[in-house]
Amino acid sequence: MLLTPITQRVLSRELLDVLIRAGLVAVLAIFCFRIFVPFLNLMVWALILAITLYPLQVMLRRPFANKDGLIATLIVLVAFAVILVPTYLLGVAIAESIEHAMAIFKSGSFRIPPPAESVSSWPLVGRRVYDIWLQASTDLTGLAQKYAPQLKEASLALLGTVTGLGAGLLVFFVALIVAGILMAHGEKGHHSAVLIASRISGPENGAQITDLCTATIRAVAQGVVGIAFIQMLLIGIAFIVMGIPGAGLLALAVLLIGIMQLPATLITVPVIVFVIVTQGVTTATVIFSIYVFVAGLADNVLKPLLLGRGVAVPMPVVLIGALGGMVTGGVIGLFIGPVMLAVGYQLFWRWVKDQPRPETVQQQTLP
């Protein structure tokens, strides 16, 4: 069928209009993204916190006569207190420890005890550890000068880490305030999320995908933060009972590396070695070592029980998404990874199962 010149001009004009509109929409989207991107992490954190804490908001509606604004404010204030009080105590403890250490070092009474002969018999690193330890006990100044470049790099790295933690804590507090605002309008937010998901994936999938994303974020919060908190309690109590120096700081380190999906054995194994070296092999140290080592591996048992609970996808999908998201996107990726993988998993299997029946195909092929 040949088109007349007039029809061709009309089609060309319509195609040009479509391209211009698409270009303008793309430019608008790019500008909106560039304006919003400085607040992207903040809003993602706020959304994660709001979804995680919203069941508490629903639970408190009856006692507070459905005053969502008041309930959200109380939740945010309690969360601030729960985070700020330990942070303040930790900062005071660190400042006092540093001040005490500097006072001892300036007084000249600081001495490192010489290592035991058994240290040199440790496999692989025993001889080197023994030599460094021995030099530290006899000539600490010379050892510090020898490793001055490494100490400088470690100090700068530690300073950068502390600065990053401070900035991250500030962003977290602001995100908590925004999360309170989102929780106060939780019903409207859920309705909007269903509309957006329905527009993207179809009306039949919108509510299911919204519920899946919500359940996945809550499962990760329970299965990652919850497990890390349980490990911190189990290991921290043992450290305190055994009288380990800086037991509170070490327990906090267990919590942080648990959230970062690193094994708690990074903390427990050096502490076990320290206890055995300083206190020897006794019944108490053996029991302590076995208990702390097993507690450091407890996440391997708890993750399959908590991480995928309440999610309509297999637990390995959530676990792989959490680990992969952590590697590629940091702590935020820990939540975004399993959400994206779970949604992709559900949509993929829905597409696989949504196949025409054989009789339908046969009817379509008949002349």
Nearest to 347 by CA among 199, 205, 152: 205
pLDDT of residue 8: 73
pLDDT of residue 35: 94
Which residues neighbour 190 within 8 Å (Cβ) at sequence distance 6 or greater? 210
**Pairwise pLDDT comparison (347 vs 96), residue with the higher score:** 347
pLDDT of residue 366: 45
pLDDT of residue 309: 64
Residue 223 reports pLDDT greater than 80: no
For 336-357, what is the mean pLDDT? 80
Band the pLDDT of 74: cuts 50, 70, 90: very high
- In terms of C-beta density within 10 A (0-12 exposed, 13-18 middle, 19 or more buried), how is residue 343 classed? buried
Band the pLDDT of 108: cuts 50, 70, 90: low
In this structure, of 133-137, 163-167, 253-257, the range with the lowest mean pLDDT score is: 163-167
**Pairwise pLDDT comparison (330 vs 30), residue with the higher score:** 30
Give me the chain's average pLDDT, please: 80
Residue 110 reports pLDDT greater than 70: no
For 321-327, what is the mean pLDDT? 80
Residue 362 reports pLDDT greater than 60: no
**Pairwise pLDDT comparison (45 vs 138), residue with the higher score:** 45
Q: Quote the crossing angle between the two packed helices 68-107 and 247-259, to the nearest 10°.
A: 130
Residue 109 reports pLDDT greater than 80: no
Band the pLDDT of 2: cuts 50, 70, 90: low
Report pLDDT digits (tens) over 249-260.
Answer: 788 778 877 777
pLDDT of residue 32: 93
Cα distance between residue 49 and residue 83, in whole Å: 14
pLDDT of residue 359: 57
For 158-168, what is the mean pLDDT? 69
pLDDT of residue 361: 46
Break the chain into its structural domains and give their ranges. Answer: 18-114+162-184, 202-351
- In terms of C-beta density within 10 A (0-12 exposed, 13-18 middle, 19 or more buried), how is residue 160 classed? exposed
pLDDT of residue 209: 85
pLDDT of residue 178: 92
Select the highest-mean-pLDDT range: 66-70, 159-163, 256-260: 66-70
**Pairwise pLDDT comparison (360 vs 230), residue with the higher score:** 230
